[in-house]
Structures are given as structure tokens and as C-alpha cells.
């Protein structure tokens, strides 16, 4: 694992994200499958989930020594639960306290931990690989910038984002928790301004086009310096 910097002196600023995400689950704004918590079709639709699990499993089993994986924005854990067995330790993080408490009761493995953290404001767990699956697209540029600074602590970052079809201007700012950049015909590109995330290598692992011109879900592997 890469050595983490001490960020204890970072000044914390309140963000609307926590309240927004709590409201999403309380009001079932991402849908309802009769579960107490539901992270939407992006975490449940077989055409989205199954190809993702296939490429993630292939990546994880390629290492002789299993990785410590930090799932930053684990949601209802319908996806993450299928990956735990391929890791040395799986640390699942979300900002919604009730969701984390629910997951702790529902999913129990020796190498699985759940933590309630604000990934923009709190120190992140140590690990080899950070997983962010359709998480940053909900956040403001200011929050994303704080997260990007911490991603340099990992050897690998696997990012999944919902992007527009064709050409678009990346990284248009939004208010956290109020939709995603797709409504502005924009999407996230961590390597572009204002984030300028520095990586050793990048590789697209998966591209899933959505029906009716509703964009594409891209999963990218970044190897960090």
C-alpha cells in the first residue's frame, strides 16, 4: 500500500451531500424494490451489473496476493457483495449512517468492513485499490477535487461514470446531490481540468451503451504513480 499523507489539518466545510443522499434513500428516489435501501437500477440491472462484475473479477484475480479494496460509495452493496471473496480485505464506505448500519447486519464476511464516512471530508481507509462506481458524478467539483487529492494514496483507482454519447465538455460543475452532469451534456473526466489527476496509466475496462440515447456507462482503470 502507498503511504498516506497526514491530512488532519484539512479544514472541514459542510456540504449538502449527506442530507441529499439520506433523502434519496428515505424517499426511494432511485426506485423501490421492496428493500429498505435501494441504490437504483445501476446497481441491480443485469445488463449493467453482470459485465461489471466480470471485468472486476478478472482484475482482482490477476494478482498473486489479493488486494485490499476500498469501495468508496458502496450503496446497498448488491454489487460489492459479489467481489468480497476476491480480496484480502474489502472496506465498504458510504455517507449514509442508516445504510451502513443496515449493511453491517445484512452482509457478514471475515474480510469485510463497513464504515460511515464522507469521502470528501474524512480521511480514507488505507488500501491498494479504490473503487468509485457512479459516485463522483453526483458531486460538485469542489468535493471531487478533495477526493482526487486522496486517490493518489492508492495504487489503482477503478472509476465508473455515466457519460453523454459523443463529444462533450467535461467537468461542468453541479450542486452535490442534485442530479448528474448528463443534464448539462457533460460528464466526469478526472484527467482534465480542474482535477488534472496524475496517473501512470489508464485503461478502459468496460463500456455499456444505454438504450434510447441515454448515454454510456464507462469503467476505467487508473494506475497511480
Q: What is the 3-state secondary structure (H, E, C) of 43-100?
A: HCCHHHHHHHHHHHHHHHCCCCCCCEEEEECCCCCCCHHHCHHHCCEEEEEECCHHHH
pLDDT for 15: 53
Q: In this predicted structure, what is the pLDDT of residue 185?
A: 95
pLDDT of residue 33: 66
Quick check: is 26 in a domain? yes
pLDDT score at 22: 78
The CATH number linked to 164 is: 3.40.50.150
Closest CA relative to residue 5, chosen from 153, 143, 128: 153
Residue stretches of the chain with pLDDT short of 50: 3, 5-13
φ, ψ for residue 116, nearest 5 deg? -95, 110
Report yes or no: 3 and 68 within 8 Å, Cβ to Cβ. Answer: no
What pLDDT is recorded for position 1? Answer: 58
Judge whether 28 lies within some domain: yes
Q: Is residue 54 part of a domain?
A: yes
Domain range for 154 is 17-223
Q: What is the pLDDT of residue 11?
A: 43
Residue 191 placed within a domain: yes
The total number of structural domains in the chain stands at: 1
DSSP assignment of 98-163 equals: HHHHHHHHH---TTEEEEE--TTTSPPPP-SEEEEES-GGGS-HHHHHHHHHHHTTSSEEEEEEEE
Within a domain: residue 102? yes
Of 73, 179, 67, nearest to 117 by C-alpha is: 73
Quote the pTM value: 0.89
- Whether residue 161 lies inside any domain: the answer is yes
Contact 92, 112 (CB under 8 A): yes
Cα–Cα distance for residue pair 52/83, rounded to 1 Å: 11
Tens of pLDDT, residues 154-212: 999 999 999 999 999 999 999 988 789 999 999 999 999 999 999 999 999 999 999 88
Decide if 158 is inside a domain. yes
Alpha carbons 80 and 71: distance in angstroms, whole number: 8
Report the sign of the C-alpha dihedral through residues 150, 154, 155, 161, in that order: negative
Residue 9: what pLDDT? 43
Amino acid at each position: 500500500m502507498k503511504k498516506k499523507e497526514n491530512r488532519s489539518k484539512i479544514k472541514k466545510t459542510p456540504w449538502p451531500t449527506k442530507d441529499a443522499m439520506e433523502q434519496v434513500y428515505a424517499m426511494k428516489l432511485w426506485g423501490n424494490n421492496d428493500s429498505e435501501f435501494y441504490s437504483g437500477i445501476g446497481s441491480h440491472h443485469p445488463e449493467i451489473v453482470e459485465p461489471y462484475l466480470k471485468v472486476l473479477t478478472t482484475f482482482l484475480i490477476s494478482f498473486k496476493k489479493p488486494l485490499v479494496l476500498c469501495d468508496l460509495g458502496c450503496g446497498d452493496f448488491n454489487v460489492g457483495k459479489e467481489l468480497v471473496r476476491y480480496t484480502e480485505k474489502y472496506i465498504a464506505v458510504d455517507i449514509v449512517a442508516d445504510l451502513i448500519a443496515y449493511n453491517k447486519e445484512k452482509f457478514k464476511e471475515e474480510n469485510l468492513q463497513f464504515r460511515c464516512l464522507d469521502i470528501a471530508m474524512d480521511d480514507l481507509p488505507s488500501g491498494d485499490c479504490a473503487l468509485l462506481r457512479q459516485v463522483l458524478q453526483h458531486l460538485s467539483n469542489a468535493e471531487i477535487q478533495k477526493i482526487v487529492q486522496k486517490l493518489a494514496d492508492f495504487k489503482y483507482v477503478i472509476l465508473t461514470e455515466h457519460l453523454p454519447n459523443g463529444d462533450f465538455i467535461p467537468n461542468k460543475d453541479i450542486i452535490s446531490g442534485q442530479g448528474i452532469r448528463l443534464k448539462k451534456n457533460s460528464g466526469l473526466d478526472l484527467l482534465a481540468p480542474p482535477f488534472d489527476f496524475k496517473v501512470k496509466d489508464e485503461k478502459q475496462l468496460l463500456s455499456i451503451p444505454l438504450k434510447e440515447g441515454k448515454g454510456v456507462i464507462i469503467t476505467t482503470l487508473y494506475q497511480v504513480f
